[in-house]
Chain A
Amino acid sequence: MQRIYLDYAATTPVLPEVLEAMVPYFSGEFGNASGVYSWSRTARQALDQARDQVAKVLGAQPEEIVFTGGGSESDNLAIKGAAWAYRDRGRHIITSAIEHHAVLEACHWLEGQGFEVTYLPVNGEGLVDPQSVKEALRPDTILVTIMHANNEVGTIQPIAEIGEIVRDTKAVFHTDAVQTAGVLDINVDHLNVDLLTLSGHKLYGPKGVGALYVRKGTRLVPMIHGGGHERRRRAGTENVPGIVGLARALEITHSERESENARLQALRDKLISGLSAIPYTRVNGSLAQRLPNNVNVCFEFIEGESLLLTLDMRGVAASSGSACTSGSLEPSHVLLAMGLPHEIAHGSLRLTLGRGTTEADVDYVLGEIPQIVERLRAMSPLYRG
């Protein structure tokens, strides 16, 4: 049976040329970058080069890049680190209702520490209104954190516009760009951000490595204390192969993004229009402000996990915002924030395309899904043909 992977927003395979760049640093050039001998110099040079590569894509200075253990760590460092550093100035934070859990849970934790958090709503298309940020800002707002693009429904938020609003205040502005690095322009001066999170494994690099851009002058209290690594912002011996891989992957995906985006967008639109032909189906998220690889639909009267299990039996890997797949009793917080009723949110399906996706894959899926939906609906007491 053929296997079709359509969950690129969850993780991506490491590109062969990325793996090749990483391999020397596992065993041959294994040195700790902090030493004074030749092994260390080699490791240090690799780190410096990686930092330059990442900074270049971001339009930043190398010393503004902090390497971390992944996207969640970068989000935590940005949010908790900034909140702690600026807590004497104020205790108010603004975020949105559709952030990744790494942002939402960090904010929840801060609420327990005496901070106050405003969770901005989104409209039915899953977009944050910049005006709502303006209205939520207070003299004691120290941090605004809004994701660049949503991981579930693929909506691209007006970050540059929000950044312009926040720039006129004393608050710092963070964006989680985990879904957009290597896909969209993430130049920090174009986006008007002070902090930006990215992750290696979402852009065809390795897992367990991420980066945080920290604009010069932005203060952060470190989350991990220890040695003086990463300019005292993140202690721990540097993951040299991982960092080299992240940088190489970002460089490749960023430089090839225009042609790849055009290719994916055509496949995405074919999928969306094909799936929309199934009765009682709705497309979730803005069609205009949308990642080129994201498809998110709800099939009424059926439940998402059943759909995923059946797809898996037919070789297709996808994901859903149903309660059963979120690991809680509630369906996706993103779909609920967009105003979908619970019973419909349970029936969501996310297909995210990537470099390995072909038109044949899309055709296969478009052949399978209508049958699966029909079969599950025939079993559903909610469906009245």
Chain B
Amino acid sequence: MYSEKVMEHFQNPRNVGEIDDASGVGEVGNARCGDIMKLWIKVEDGIIKDIKFKTFGCGAAIATSSMVTELALGKTLEEAEQISNQAVAEALDGLPPIKMHCSNLAADALHAAIQDYRRRNG
């Protein structure tokens, strides 16, 4: 039911972990629904220089988390803010319909991390 790309990211997720001195941290989802994504960014000169995630969730939740870190790494904050959940799903060659809402939150986690960064650097 998952595309090969989803399975590839699920099997070999990129950028798993935490950043100790992160510039921003975002967390979305809740354990009740079965999906929580937490994402750390390191920002230098307005560019995302490092990014890491940890996710509790299904295959789609882990694959979208991995993909969003790949899409956002090296981007400016403005560019990263343009990455949508839809774009993440498309980059993975699509998700099963039932997963589009419940497990496709990775871009929201990225945006939350950027917001956190902006708040800290108000």
Chain A interface residues (CB < 8 Å from chain B): 301-306, 309, 313, 322-324, 327, 329, 331, 342-343, 346, 378-382
Contact = CB atoms under 8 A, between A and B. Distances in A.
A342 B55 contact: no
B10 to A, nearest CB: 6
Interface stretch (B32-40, B67-75, B79-87, B114-122): B32-40
B32 A342 contact: yes
A331 B27 contact: no
Contact of B31 (A305, A327, A342, A379): A342
Contacts of B32: 342-343
- At the interface, is chain B mostly helix, strand, loop or mixed? mixed
Given A329-B102, A382-B36, A305 B59 contact: yes
A303 to B, nearest CB: 5
12 contacts: A303-B34, A303-B35, A306-B57, A323-B34, A324-B59, A343-B32, A343-B34, A346-B31, A379-B55, A380-B54, A380-B55, A381-B55
B54 A379 contact: yes
Interface in B32-61: 32-38, 54-61
Contacts of B58: 303-306, 322, 324
Q: List 8 A-B pairs, minimum CB-CB distance, nearest first.
A: A343-B31, A305-B58, A381-B38, A346-B34, A381-B54, A324-B58, A342-B32, A380-B56
Q: How large is the interface on B (under 10, 10 to 19, 20 to 34, 35 or more residues)?
A: 20 to 34
A2 B16 CA distance: 29
A381 B27 contact: yes
Nearest to A378: B16
B54 A309 contact: no
B104 interface: no
Interface in B73-122: 98-99, 102-103
Given A379-B16, A382-B31, A306 B10 contact: yes
A306 B55 CA distance: 11
Contact of A302 (B16, B56, B99): B56
Contact of A306 (B33, B37, B59): B59
A303 B57 contact: yes
A289 B7 CA distance: 39
B6 to A, nearest CB: 10
A86 to B, nearest CB: 39
Contacts of A379: 13, 16, 54-56, 62
A346 B55 CA distance: 14
A239 B33 CA distance: 43
B3 interface: no
Contacts of A324: 34, 58-60, 99, 102-103
Contacts of A301: 56
Given A322-B58, A379-B54, A327 B98 contact: yes
